[in-house]
Structure 1
Amino acid sequence: MLTVISNAWALLLGMLLLMVGNGLQGTLLGVRGEIENFSTLQMSVVMSAYFAGFLVSSQVTPGLIRRVGHVRVFAALASTISAVLILFPLLNNPYAWIIGRVIVGFGFCGVYIVAESWLNNAATNETRGQTLSAYMIVQMAGVVAAQGLLLMADPAEYTLFIVISVLVSLSFLPILLSISPTPAFDTTKPMSLAQLIKISPLGCVGMFLLGGVFAAQFGMSAVYGVEAGLSVAQISIFVSSFYVGALVLQYPLGWMSDRMDRRSLIMFVAAATALGAALAAMMGSVFVVLCAAAFLIGGMSNPLYSLLIAHTNDFLEPDDMAAASGGLLFINGVGAVSGPLITGWAMSALGSWGFFLFIGVLMTGLAGYAAYRRTQRAAIPVEDTMTYAPVSPSSTSVAVEFAQEYAVAEAEDAEAAQ
């Protein structure tokens, strides 16, 4: 791990600054929206707009990179993000915020694609697994650290927006000043959705439902905190709990994934997430219980992303994995766009606990569907399954293909050893 950090520290530092900026802007806008008297439904559209921009960028940015190159795309998008973020407090209108969030989502997806392709290019077969782990730790640590910055200044003022803009601007320096050769960039044409659903119904249904759950966590958790009457400090701790749980439980669940039927583990993890949501809905007025439930929800639901990718890979030939990744991420993105919208509607109709009702219903549905799929075909022997590779739900198709390359290499090494 130390070797990976020493070789890729500039990329990892740049990504850390980007994740801190991204994590802070989502929470800050959730709090600031209440100050500006935006309704819950308006804020749900604002939060959903980020994922719409992210989804569009995932389709458009690869073409931009092939046309003008990594460096120009990264610099242009990061500069745009920095400019738009500092405009939010000046434009106290929900429609302006929606447009801004689309642009920010588009930009962040683009810079992630560029940075992840550089990171993949810097890794070797021997360091690929450790590089993935370091990248995921940086992503989660950045979002957690961002919540602490929320306490630096009054959300009603400009200071925090300036801090975010500065962080994003500073992320250019370690990345652009350290990159030597620009990696070749090519993307595989995605597998058709009909073919992908036929190969792995559970993987596709799970990715769609999980997209809604992740978008609710990332986009609406701060809005929930405001609606529930939490202080800014409590919102910071509450939002952090999701990502601390994701960081702590990612590797134990990954270890289990390589040693049992993944459908059973998906069923268990989804049910545990639903249990956490029920606990928060019933006892969320007790702040310690609320944070414990958030830890459980984040710790169980975030690793589901990697679990579902690994489960889908179990039914694919290695040459088809890259093609499948595009389809899986598109399905997840569609779910992510709808997640905040439905959550906002539920919170408006039922109160703040509608946030956890939405998560609980989706995860109960996933647990039930995983149980049903166990009856439809026999389990693949554990020794024939692909290796679990940790990937954050905020990653792009580049990181997913990176993880699949690692899984294939591990499988080939295991086969050679046998």
Structure 2
Amino acid sequence: MLGNGMQFTLMGLRGDIEGFSAPELGIITSGYFAGFLVGARYTPVLISRVGHVRVFGALGGLMSAGLIAFPLLADPWAWTALRVMLGFCMSGIYVTAESWLNAQSTNETRGKILAAYMICQTVGIIGAQWLLTLGDAATSVLFIGASILVSVSFAPILLSASPAPATTVSRPMSLKDLFSSSPLGAVGIFFLGAIYATQSGMGAVFGGQTGMTANAISLFVAALFAGALVFQYPIGWLSDRIDRRKVICGSAAIGGGFCMIGFFAGDNEFALLAAAFIAGGMTTPLYALLLAYTNDYLTSDEMPGASGGLVFVFGAGAILGPLLTGWAMEVTGPFAFWLSLGATFAVIAVYALYRMTQRAQMPVEETDSYISVVPGATPVAAEAASAWAADNVEADVADDRATA
């Protein structure tokens, strides 16, 4: 995640140096999520054909090579192709790692293991922003550093004596069935995909176009992810105790409100960092909220397919978000970054309010447990989290009956 987190911000830093426009950088950003979506679907097929370790090693080698290739190919279309490849590789790496963690965990430990895994992902991305301050984006040093980190990270897995787990991903639920089961879950996760991809891919572009220094851009992007570490637990705690739609609406409204603060902040760095911290801090909990809310209306047998469907819908939104934001930044200026985010948060908040008038509240004691799943998780992690939540509820019900 240190290596992967570096390349996200490097695209904006080096792209600005190369003179790429905001729409071009939006296309490059979307390329990653397009590759990620394909990788989540087809990596299990590759693993079934040639084996777990071979796929893991091949994807790691391709990703390491791709990172080094960026400074050699200063062309937007070449970068887009490389980003598609990196997205595919990273998705496959996630599938492999998540399958391994899931296979090594039990019902008692799965929740803690998944939570620790998600924390490692977020901390890795934040730490990567600090590493970017150690070099110059105009040279190849940072790209080489990211490549080295990625290469080194595979050694513990490739040299491990642990047996490789079986990797299976359930067939995604159809979009029609997913929307019928949970309209708010399907619509919300689509727009959240646009928010997450815009924050992670276009944040550095915004910083470059507004004249921030490289160090300030790194701090700004780190703030977008740091908020998740602070708000994940309190929002999750609250969602297990009141109507989740209220928490979804409130979180989206807060995110949208701070985006407006960012829009009017101008060159006030403190206000920009505060807006990034709070708006970014609402994004990750919203993903887990929408996943948990969708699971509340599904049976245990339906959850795996729904998780795959939600990942697909999230990916579709992630592809579209940077494209629209890049175009808006080109037409109206860099602060359209905040307008795009704020408008998308507002759509989620308003739709959650609307859904509260269309469906009665589910009793809190019948809802599944909340678990911190970060945006960009593959169906493997989403399915594991859903299974853990369902098992947790069943265990609580059994305990209540025993007590009675």
Deviation at 1:174, TM superposition (A): 1.4
Tell me the distance in 2 between the aligned counterparts of 1:199 and 1:336. Answer: 22
1:145-224 paired onto structure 2 within 5 Å? 145-224=127-206
Name 1:14's counterpart in structure 2: none
Name 1:143's counterpart in structure 2: 125
Name 2:50's counterpart in structure 1: 68
Q: Is the 8 A contact 2:56 2:92 kept in 1?
A: yes
Name 1:340's counterpart in structure 2: 322
State the one-letter code of the partner of 2:147. S
Matched, 1:40 2:31: no
Name 2:59's counterpart in structure 1: 77
Q: Is the 8 A contact 2:2 2:127 kept in 1?
A: yes
State the one-letter code of the partner of 1:348. E
Tell me the distance in 2 between the aligned counterparts of 1:178 and 1:75. Answer: 13
Q: From 68, 92, 100, give the equivalent of 1:86.
A: 68
SS of structure 2 residue aligned to 1:318: coil
- CA shift in 2, pair 1:124/1:202, >3 Å: same
Q: From 228, 233, 240, give the equivalent of 1:258.
A: 240
In the TM superposition, what whole-angstrom CA distance separates every residue of 1:304-336 from its partner, at most 9, and x where no partner exists?
Answer: 000000000000001110011111110000000
Name 2:89's counterpart in structure 1: 107
Deviation at 1:365, TM superposition (A): 0.8
Tell me the distance in 1 between the aligned counterparts of 2:224 and 2:22. Answer: 21
Q: From 223, 240, 264, give the equivalent of 1:282.
A: 264
In the TM superposition, what whole-angstrom CA distance separates every residue of 1:331-351 from its partner, at most 9, and x where no partner exists?
Answer: 000000011100101100111
Name 1:322's counterpart in structure 2: 304
Q: Is the 8 A contact 2:248 2:286 kept in 1?
A: yes
Matched, 1:128 2:104: no
Deviation at 1:132, TM superposition (A): 1.1
Name 1:24's counterpart in structure 2: 6
Q: Is the 8 A contact 2:189 2:314 kept in 1?
A: yes
Name 1:6's counterpart in structure 2: none
Matched, 1:249 2:231: yes
Tell me the distance in 2 between the aligned counterparts of 1:342 and 1:172. Answer: 35
TM norm structure 2 = 0.98
Tell me the distance in 1 between the aligned counterparts of 2:382 and 2:189. Answer: 13
Tell me the distance in 1 between the aligned counterparts of 2:200 and 2:85. Answer: 17
Bigger shift: residues 80-89 or 121-130: 121-130
Deviation at 1:398, TM superposition (A): 0.6
State the one-letter code of the partner of 1:132. L
Q: From 224, 227, 250, give the equivalent of 1:268.
A: 250
Unaligned runs of 5+ in 1: 1-18
Q: Is the 8 A contact 2:311 2:377 kept in 1?
A: no
Unaligned runs of 5+ in 2: none
Deviation at 1:178, TM superposition (A): 2.3
Tell me the distance in 1 between the aligned counterparts of 2:56 and 2:175. Answer: 30
Q: Is the 8 A contact 2:96 2:167 kept in 1?
A: no
Tell me the distance in 1 between the aligned counterparts of 2:378 and 2:229. Answer: 18
State the one-letter code of the partner of 1:70. H
Tell me the distance in 1 between the aligned counterparts of 2:326 and 2:199. Answer: 12
State the one-letter code of the partner of 2:281. G
State the one-letter code of the partner of 2:35. G
Q: Is the 8 A contact 2:189 2:287 kept in 1?
A: yes
Matched, 1:405 2:387: yes
Tell me the distance in 2 between the aligned counterparts of 1:181 and 1:346. Answer: 49
SS of structure 2 residue aligned to 1:150: helix
State the one-letter code of the partner of 2:74. N
SS of structure 2 residue aligned to 1:188: coil
Root-mean-square deviation (Å): 0.8
SS of structure 2 residue aligned to 1:322: helix
In the TM superposition, what whole-angstrom CA distance separates every residue of 1:342-385 from its partner, at most 9, and x where no partner exists?
Answer: 01011001111100100111110110000000000110000000
Matched, 1:240 2:213: no
Matched, 1:59 2:44: no
Q: From 84, 101, 104, give the equivalent of 1:119.
A: 101
Tell me the distance in 2 between the aligned counterparts of 1:77 and 1:236. Answer: 27
Name 2:334's counterpart in structure 1: 352
Deviation at 1:40, TM superposition (A): 1.2
Deviation at 1:179, TM superposition (A): 4.7
State the one-letter code of the partner of 1:293. A
Deviation at 1:163, TM superposition (A): 0.3
Q: Which runs of 4+ in 1 moved over 4 A?
A: none
SS of structure 1 residue aligned to 2:184: helix
Tell me the distance in 1 between the aligned counterparts of 2:39 and 2:110. Answer: 26
Tell me the distance in 2 between the aligned counterparts of 1:108 and 1:185. Answer: 16
